[in-house]
Amino acid sequence: MKLLAGNSNRPLAEAIAAYLRVDLTRASVHRFADMEIFVEIQENVRGEDVFIIQSTSYPANDNLMELLVCIDALRRASARRITAVIPYFGYARQDRKPGPRTPISAKLVANLITQAGANRVLTLELHAGQIQGFFDIPVDNLYGAPLMAPDIANNLGPDNVLIVSPDVGGVARARAYAKRIDANLAIIDKRRERAGHSEVMNVIGEVEGRHCVLVDDIVDSGGTLCNAADALLAAGALSVQAYCTHGVLSGGAVARIAASSLDKLVITDSIRPTEGVRVTEKIRVLAVAQLMGEAISRIASESSVSSLFD
Ligand code: R5P
């Protein structure tokens, strides 16, 4: 097995390599003056089972292009099998046409990865499970719940905890968390009654006197979580925490979270945490290296990956 690290999240690639007790394959990624990407793999990969680790996080287009260029280099270097390990799969939220004459960019990205020469994909908490079907190569989609649900149980205990989906689209995910820790479920129904009018947050479920835990795949601007936390507290919740697998945290999101009514936000390091994230007391980061590393090891040895979800 060979592990190759892209530049988007090198600390995670190093932690995965340490878990697997292999060295990262020597490679260099250069930029030409016009910012074109050039990749050189500096050791033999002919006939090897190669895993290229790259989150397509900010700057999403550069990191995606770097992934594609690396896959192309590996294919031309005669790697036997190339697995694109994409802890955070960018463009996943563009998984349908929101209106006429709009793209389905998640499908386009799937096509690009496949055409570049990837033989399979390993990813974590896809925004929508059906994105697996955008690929005609095998996709293993890991979940954040096996990592995060025990953390919720350890920190809050099973009593009085309520798992909350911040929108209707996340109900299946929230239900999976609730089942794991034997907690009840509530849902926030976000609705804009009329264009130009502010969002109404309807809380469905008994939240009064409960410690609420919002679960989501992505925290980006932080707006969804902060508004949901306010709605839950207004409905009588005792406290609100949030667990989101991917800390996209764009723009002023970290400051927004820090100033919000959330007690805590827990994310993973699927996206490399910025310095701002690291120093913000309200945000805690869980490591995914062991989960991703174990999945890589099982793919390499052709053993079950789904048993990791149990
Ligand atoms: C949307 O469907 C996703 O699951 C997240 O809820 C969303 O991306 C969060 O975005 P933001 O933090 O900008 O509200």
Pocket test for ligand 1, best of 127, 189, 224, 230 (most atoms within 8 A of CB): 224
Class of domain 2-142+290-309: alpha beta
Pocket test for ligand 1, best of 94, 220, 227 (most atoms within 8 A of CB): 220
Residues of the chain with CATH 3.40.50.2020: 2-142+290-309, 145-287
Q: In this predicted structure, what is the pLDDT of residue 199? A: 75
Averaged confidence pLDDT in the chain: 95
Q: Does the pTM of the predicted model rise above 0.85?
A: yes
Question: What are the per-10-residue average pLDDT scores of the chain (310 residues)?
Answer: 97 98 95 95 98 98 98 98 98 95 98 98 96 98 96 86 94 95 93 66 93 97 94 96 98 97 98 97 98 98 88
For the CA of 253, the nearest atom of ligand 1: 12
Q: Tell me: the pLDDT tens digits for 244-283?
A: 999 999 999 999 999 999 999 999 999 999 999 999 999 9
For the CA of 127, the nearest atom of ligand 1: 4
CATH of domain 145-287: 3.40.50.2020
For the CA of 221, the nearest atom of ligand 1: 13
Residue of minimum CA distance from atom 5 in ligand 1: 218
Q: What is the 3-state secondary structure (H, E, C) of the chain?
A: CEEEECCCCHHHHHHHHHHHCCCECCEEEEECCCCCEEEEECCCCCCCEEEEECCCCCCHHHHHHHHHHHHHHHHHCCCCEEEEEECCCCCCCCCCCCCCCCCCHHHHHHHHHHHHCCCEEEEECCCCHHHHHHCCCCEEEECCHHHHHHHHHHHHCCCCEEEEECCHHHHHHHHHHHHHHCCEEEEEEEECCCCCCCCEEEEECCCCCCEEEEEEEEECCCHHHHHHHHHHHHCCCCEEEEEEEEECCCCCHHHHHHCCCCCEEEEEECCCCCHHHHHCCCEEEECCHHHHHHHHHHHHCCCCCHHHHC
Q: In this predicted structure, what is the pLDDT of residue 158? A: 64
Q: In this predicted structure, what is the pLDDT of residue 194? A: 67
Q: In this predicted structure, what is the pLDDT of residue 156? A: 84
> Which residues are CB-neighbours of 259 under 8 A, at least 6 positions away?
none
Q: In this predicted structure, what is the pLDDT of residue 193? A: 66
* Residues annotated as part of the active site: 190
Q: In this predicted structure, what is the pLDDT of residue 176? A: 95
Residue of minimum CA distance from atom 2 in ligand 1: 169
Q: Tell me: the pLDDT tens digits for 58-77?
A: 999 999 999 999 999 999 99
